[in-house]
Structure 1
Amino acid sequence: MTAQTPTDRTGDAPVDHVGFGGGTMISAGYGAVAEDDARGALDAAFAAGVRFYDTAHFYGSGRSESLVGEMLHERRDRITLCTKGGVRYTDPSDMRTLVCDSSYDGLRAFMEESLTRLRTDHVDIYLLHQFDPALTPEQQMENLARLREDGLVKEVGFCNFGAEASRRALATGIPGVVEYSYSLLDQRYVTELSDAGRRGGRRITYGSYVHGLLSQDFEPDHDFGPDDWRGRSRTIGQSGTSGNIFFAGDAFAANVRIAKRLKVIADELGLSPAAFVLALTVREPHSDIALMGVRSAQELTDGLAGLSVPLSDDVLARVAEILADADRPTENRLGLPS
């Protein structure tokens, strides 16, 4: 294996393969975060050259979109803006109240609310956040196409579809973008990402840090806060599209051991775990834009620090050896009975 820098893959600047993930900068899901810190993270991302911003109607019941709109609306013509719709909580305090609506009227309402918060008249990419079981994949893609015809979005696509739904949706020729979880530990959606890539679609990937597992120095007995879904996963177990599978049961301790082995190499390179993991992730073959979830300017700057650091053949071989010992799930179970 030849030593690589991130630019070897496409000739673009490394930061061109990184996007700002807006799901972690809200005071929900990952514990409390100060909104001024979130604003600082967005400002630092733009200053560092990040031009792709991913958010969703669903994140904080719109709060993430509002922060993105507040910080970036004066820079709108210089960024690529992606948001998602089709799901909401009827009661944001109760995760059991999640409902889907990918009808045209439903998506139009989602979109209009998102545009107001984002302070723009269109978005560059609009994605269905997850599959709506009330409609066929073809119907959902046709409804997205109508939004595109309305001039509200340039490109459309989907996130988190099961294998068969993804195949049928892509076969319509309508979606130009897909978004799935993908990381050094998460290989569940490689088939769907590969299929989209073969069709010329853009592949956005989230969970680069495996929801903090690879970027934070956890101990196996770490006690997550009461407002952090990762703690609930320790007892509730696996479900849905999230990273529960990496935190539930014995998986958490095993993955912490993998993270600590990677951290040894990061320390030798003078990099934080976050910087090292992101530098590795942008080299992965199934991601065109790897999202990084950060909640402060410091986290943003730290995460980008490894992109310009060449990684030797020896380093890459050691990483491959560590990951060979990891239990990396490979089956897309979205849409299957639990």
Structure 2
Amino acid sequence: MRESQLGDLTVSALGLGCMGMSQSYGVRADDSESIATLHAAIDAGCTFIDTADVYGDGENEELVGRGLAGRRDQVVLATKFGFKRPASASAVPTVVDGSPAYVAQALDASLRRLGVDHIDLWYLHRRDPQVPIEETVGAMAAAVEAGKVRYLGLSEVNGETVRAAHAVHPITAVQSEWSLWTRDPETVVLPTLRELGVGFVPFSPLGRGFLTGQIKSPEDFPEDDMRRGLPRFQGENFQRNLDLVAQVQSLAASKGVTPGQLALAWLLAQGNDVAPIPGTKRQTYLRENLGALDVTLTADELAALDEAFPPDAVSGQRYGQGGMDLVGK
């Protein structure tokens, strides 16, 4: 397994995102298959495991914890905190809480659900606009001093926030969406991270499945699939984005690989400070994703992909407006 360097933390070049095992993409997977997928990833050297306390209202951390029983020392375990679900249907919608009091509360809850005594990489899932980032990161740093966390990360933040946080305590990695069809981080965030020596962890590196070439219609999604509510998967945006993916399919076919493998290979070619975490709940897709590690792209092939998917080519926002308001720009 190739390795990536996130600050001082060494991880497998390809990680495993576990969110879809518990939520978001239609019918929940069988837990036994999810755990078998987790074990297969570890056996293959894909040992950078990513979850969050909000996935499945905590159930995903519990699932990952069961899967890691007896194998904790073989992985780099990452989780996130910050989102708070409403306590009841009549309560306010999901909010972000970065207050020092909630930092400590969320950490202990994650440790309990995961069944571990420490977390290797702990992210703030979104910045709380009501709390200075210095206060949130200061409280997170206390968890490092207590030995409950090894390294700190941030998710979906801008360059200014990274600088302010990094001045309080070293930030090891920033996790945000990055792929051929989400290239926003390349303009400001990524250059800032490289100046500071911070790694980048792209989530949804396959464009929430779009870049695999297997999605042909919004009707392909189950009724409870979150993608039905995302602008990029709706109306005219869907067809325009489908036309873009056709170019990736053509390039992949000419190279003898799958479109998903080509998309992951493009990200892996961006530097050894990048560690994508494609999510899957099935062993078959895990094996396909791991095949991207064997794909080498030439300068001409990288240029062709850049031309096929230039920044701003994709139609539609990543989230609805409420979600976009929480994304650092």
TM-score norm. by structure 2 comes to 0.85
How far apart, in 1, do the equivalents of 2:280 and 2:253 lie? 21
Match of 1:243 in 2: none
Letter of the aligned partner of 1:224 in structure 2? F
Deviates more, 1:171-180 or 1:254-263: 171-180
Structure 2: tracts of 5 or more residues without a match: 6-10, 319-323
2:55 is aligned with 1:69:
no
2:37 and 2:281 in contact (8 A); partners too: yes
Q: What RMSD, in angstroms, separates the aligned Cα atoms of the two structures? A: 3.0
Match of 1:251 in 2: 237
Match of 2:140 in 1: 144
Match of 2:294 in 1: 308
Residue 184 of structure 2 aligns to a residue whose secondary structure is coil
1:125 and 1:153 in contact (8 A); partners too: yes
Match of 1:46 in 2: 42
How far apart, in 1, do the equivalents of 2:177 and 2:284 lie? 24
How far apart, in 2, do the equivalents of 1:68 and 1:109 lie? 20
TM-score norm. by structure 1 comes to 0.83
How many aligned residue pairs are there? 316
How far apart, in 2, do the equivalents of 1:82 and 1:66 lie? 13
How far apart, in 1, do the equivalents of 2:92 and 2:285 lie? 31
Deviates more, 1:53-62 or 1:285-294: 285-294
Letter of the aligned partner of 1:119 in structure 2? G
Once the 2 structures are TM-superposed, how far is the Cα of residue 284 of structure 1 from its aligned partner? Answer: 2.0
Residue 254 of structure 1 aligns to a residue whose secondary structure is helix
| Aligned 1:52-131 pairs, distance under 5 A | 52-91=48-87, 97-131=93-127
Specify which of 166, 172, 176 is matched with residue 170 of structure 1: 166
2:134 and 2:165 in contact (8 A); partners too: yes
2:204 is aligned with 1:207:
yes
1:205 and 1:287 in contact (8 A); partners too: no
How far apart, in 1, do the equivalents of 2:60 and 2:54 lie? 8
Deviates more, 1:62-71 or 1:290-299: 62-71
Q: Deviations over 1:172-210 (max 9, x none)?
A: 344222111111121222322321222112221111001
Once the 2 structures are TM-superposed, how far is the Cα of residue 80 of structure 1 from its aligned partner? Answer: 0.6
Once the 2 structures are TM-superposed, how far is the Cα of residue 119 of structure 1 from its aligned partner? Answer: 1.6
Deviates more, 1:268-277 or 1:72-81: 268-277
**Residue 317 and residue 336 in structure 1: after superposition, are their counterparts in 2 closer, same or farther (change >3 A)?**
closer
Specify which of 222, 225, 244 is matched with residue 225 of structure 1: 222
How far apart, in 2, do the equivalents of 1:139 and 1:80 lie? 26
**Residue 100 and residue 312 in structure 1: after superposition, are their counterparts in 2 closer, same or farther (change >3 A)?**
closer
Once the 2 structures are TM-superposed, how far is the Cα of residue 56 of structure 1 from its aligned partner? Answer: 0.5
2:181 and 2:207 in contact (8 A); partners too: yes
2:26 is aligned with 1:31:
yes
Once the 2 structures are TM-superposed, how far is the Cα of residue 225 of structure 1 from its aligned partner? Answer: 2.0
**Residue 336 and residue 207 in structure 1: after superposition, are their counterparts in 2 closer, same or farther (change >3 A)?**
closer
Q: Deviations over 1:194-229 (max 9, x none)?
A: 212221122211110011110242225544222111
Residue 109 of structure 1 aligns to a residue whose secondary structure is helix
**Residue 251 and residue 106 in structure 1: after superposition, are their counterparts in 2 closer, same or farther (change >3 A)?**
same
Once the 2 structures are TM-superposed, how far is the Cα of residue 153 of structure 1 from its aligned partner? Answer: 0.2
**Residue 319 and residue 138 in structure 1: after superposition, are their counterparts in 2 closer, same or farther (change >3 A)?**
same
Specify which of 154, 168, 173 is matched with residue 158 of structure 1: 154
Residue 214 of structure 2 aligns to a residue whose secondary structure is coil
1:163 and 1:334 in contact (8 A); partners too: no
